[in-house]
Each structure stands twice: as structure tokens, then as C-alpha cells.
Structure 1
Amino acid sequence: MSTTNTILLTSTVAATAGYLVTSAYAVHLFSRLHIDGLTSLGNREALGILARRAASRRPGSVGLLLLDVDNFKAINDTHGHAVGDAVLKVLATRLDSLRLPGERAVRLHGDEFVLWLGAVPSDERGRQAAAHRVAAVRTALTKPIVLGGLRLNLAVSIGAHTLPTRDLQLSALLAGADAAMYVDKHGRRLTSLPANGRLRDHRPGRESA
């Protein structure tokens, strides 16, 4: 091989290696920015991307479910944060397994999760579809969790909300779902209470009831 060809080959290999390193770093950076480190679900930034994409498309409606675990703090306090983290991972796996085409499971923070429903009908059918998804998610997430010799029975609060994509704001979509989740949490409280009689309210400025 001539010296010129050797130089060209070396340059090509170096350029390819540089590209691969850059690409690998880009993937790593994207994961850090958009993937939740504990559960490997999407994070709030990933949810924001979904909302912005929806707002830029043709007119329609989108929906999401917002959920949290009732009295999750008691799990951490009683069994430790390692068990709490394990519970969150199980819930994340279950939620992710429920996804239909176009849906995305997201962990917002703590014990709060979102199931992004994507496009839904703009009329009553959209709200009914969201209600059906609430029922399916509740059934899956409230199945007992067994961790070693520990068996946990959880309750989850879920709120659904839909909005037109025109001028869509993620904050408004989450606020609507949050209000619905609050009603669900405290509505069910009238008929069923945890063993200690207390429910945690996740919203800032509100004390646990």
C-alpha cells in the first residue's frame, strides 16, 4: 500500500472513530436529558417534547393520565427507600407494558407518573376513552407487589384530562389532570382509608388529609 493510501485510510478510520464517539456521546446526552434514571421511562422533558409536537400538528385533541401512589411516603418510612425505589420500578414496568400505539409512559418525579395518550377524539368519545384507560391502569397498578417476603397492596389516584392541540400548554393539561386526580384521591377516601387513616396530598401548599 502506498504512503498516500495509508494516510487516506488512517484519516478515514480516525474520522469514523470520531463520528462514532460523537454519536455515542449524543445518545448518552439524550438519555440523560430525556430518560428517568431510576425507571428508564421518559421524564418531564420527554413529556414536554410530546406536547410540543402535538401542538404543532393538525387541529385535534390530546389526553394524558396523571397518577400517584396513595400514601407512598409510608412505604419509604416503614420499609426504607430501597423498597420504595423497587416499588416505583415495578409500577413503571407495569405502566409501560400497558402502552397502546402512540402512548408513552413517563415518570414526572417521586411517585408521580404520566401515561401520555396522544391523539384522542375531540368529543365525548375522547373523555370516555380516557376513562377506560383509567380503569385499565388502575387494575394493573393495584395488583399486589411481592418483593422477597414482603407483599404490598397499593392504591393509586388517577386523573385524566384532554385538551385541544391548538395553543396546547403542557402545564394546563397537567393542571386539569391534577385536579381530576385530587377528586379521585379524596373521593375514594370516603369509602376506603389506609391503615393509618391518612392520605398524602402531593400538591404544593396542601397538607395531607
Structure 2
Amino acid sequence: MFAEITLAVGTTGWASIATTAAMLYRRRLHTDTLTGLGNRTALHRTARRERFTCGLVGLLMVDLDQFKAINDTHGHPFGNKVLAAVAAQLDDATHPGERAVRLHGDEFAVWLGPVSGSTAAEHRADQLAEALAEPIWVDGQRLTALGSVGLAVAPAATDLAELLGHADAHMYEIKANRRLTVLPTGQAQRNRDTHGGTAA
């Protein structure tokens, strides 16, 4: 009897350890180690969960302007701290149901989830752009991380790669204009039509 109880307790203990280890592994799999935000895998998982809902979803892409110059001037450790500070800004600015992730380098995305339409999504994009423009402190230096924000709005069933492509194209359109703003959807459409691009 004593041996059976010991074995049962031991088995339960190992099962608990294995479960905890699996949870930690899954968390690491979906987390960007530098910033603590979700990563691209986490974004795909979030998008899959909402793919079969009705209506529209929104996605933002954020790219920091002239970030390479920060790394070249101050070094990569300083640049990493800037990325972490920007990630915290984006995370603090998200609403329930939204998720900020780091894609790679100085590119981030914010999954807006269900939106009522382009106007509502553009409003959220403006709010997040304003949050991003707030000063940050890194190693005692006050900085403003200027960024370009691109927006895509599409039916929930749209493939994430397509959403990312539209948001990315819109973001680089913003960057080309050298503005920290979000182009109205109609203007973005006219610009793409003029240059032979695809609509977001």
C-alpha cells in the first residue's frame, strides 16, 4: 500500500511538471523574447480564432522610421531598448480583444479584431499612432519613436498573409509621404490606382 501511494504521488508530481513545462514551451513559442509581445506565430493563432466570425477585421502594421540610424549611432543594445519601449507603448494602447505583436526587426503589428468598418479602424489607427508618438525614455535620453502605420480592413475569412500584404503596402505608402498619420482609405485607393497597385 505504501509503495502504491508513493507511486501515485510521484506520478501526479511528474504529470504536473510535464504540464507546466508544456505551458512554458507554448508561451515561449508565441512570445517575442526581446519585447515580451506576441510574435508572428501568435498573430496567426489569433487570426485563425476569428476567421470564421462574421463581419470585418482590422490589422495595423507599424514600422519605425530611421531605426537603422539609431542602431548605427547608439549601438544595437540601445536599439533593443528602444524596441522594448515602443512595444510597451503599443501594448498599453491596445483595447480588450486587440493584440500587439512584433513581427521582426522594427516592424510590429496590431490585430484590431472585429471592426464595424473602415472609419472605425482608421480611428483606432490614429489613436495608436498618437500613442506611438508619445516620448519614451531610454538610458536617460528622451526620444520620440516616429513610425509609419498601415491599415488593412477585410472580411474575417481573409487569409492573414493577404491582410499583412495590404497593411504593409499601406504602411510604405505612409512612409513615402514621411508622415506619422494614416491615409484615408479613399486616398490610399486613389494613389494605388494611379500607380497601378492593388487596393487594400
Please indicate, yes or no, whether the TM-score normalized by the shorter chain is above 0.5: yes
SS at match of 1:39: coil
Q: What residue number does 2:162 align with?
A: 172
Q: What residue number does 1:93 align with?
A: 88
Structure number with larger C-alpha Rg: 1
Counterpart check, 1:12 vs 2:8:
yes
Question: How far does residue 188 in structure 1 lie from its aligned partner after superposition?
Answer: 2.6
Q: What residue number does 2:194 align with?
A: none
CA distance in 1, matches of 2:171, 2:62: 7
- Give CA deviations for 1:79-105 in whole Å, capped at 9, x if unaligned: 011110101111111111111111011
**Superposition RMSD in Å:** 1.3
CA distance in 2, matches of 1:149, 1:178: 33
SS at match of 1:38: coil
CA distance in 2, matches of 1:147, 1:61: 38
* Amino acid paired to 1:151: R
> Counterparts of 1:18-33 in structure 2 under 5 Å?
18-33=14-29
**Structure 2: gaps (5+ residues):** 180-200
SS at match of 1:106: strand
* Amino acid paired to 1:20: S
Counterpart check, 1:70 vs 2:60:
no
CA distance in 2, matches of 1:65, 1:188: 17
How many percent identity over aligned positions? 47
Q: What residue number does 2:119 align with?
A: 128
Question: How far does residue 148 in structure 1 lie from its aligned partner after superposition?
Answer: 2.9
Question: How far does residue 20 in structure 1 lie from its aligned partner after superposition?
Answer: 1.4
CA distance in 2, matches of 1:44, 1:180: 19
Question: How far does residue 170 in structure 1 lie from its aligned partner after superposition?
Answer: 0.7
Q: What residue number does 1:40 align with?
A: 36
* Amino acid paired to 2:83: L
Residues 86 and 145 of structure 2 are in contact (CA less than 8 Å); yes or no, is this contact kept in structure 1?
no
Which residue, out of 134, 138, 160, partners 1:143?
A: 134
Moved more, 144-153 or 60-69: 144-153
CA distance in 2, matches of 1:101, 1:147: 28
CA distance in 2, matches of 1:104, 1:111: 17
Which residue, out of 80, 84, 92, partners 2:79?
A: 84
Residues 63 and 106 of structure 2 are in contact (CA less than 8 Å); yes or no, is this contact kept in structure 1?
yes
SS at match of 2:11: helix
TM-score by length of 2: 0.85
How many aligned residue pairs are there?
Answer: 179
Question: How far does residue 154 in structure 1 lie from its aligned partner after superposition?
Answer: 2.3
Which residue, out of 44, 47, 52, partners 2:48?
A: 52
CA distance in 1, matches of 2:118, 2:114: 12
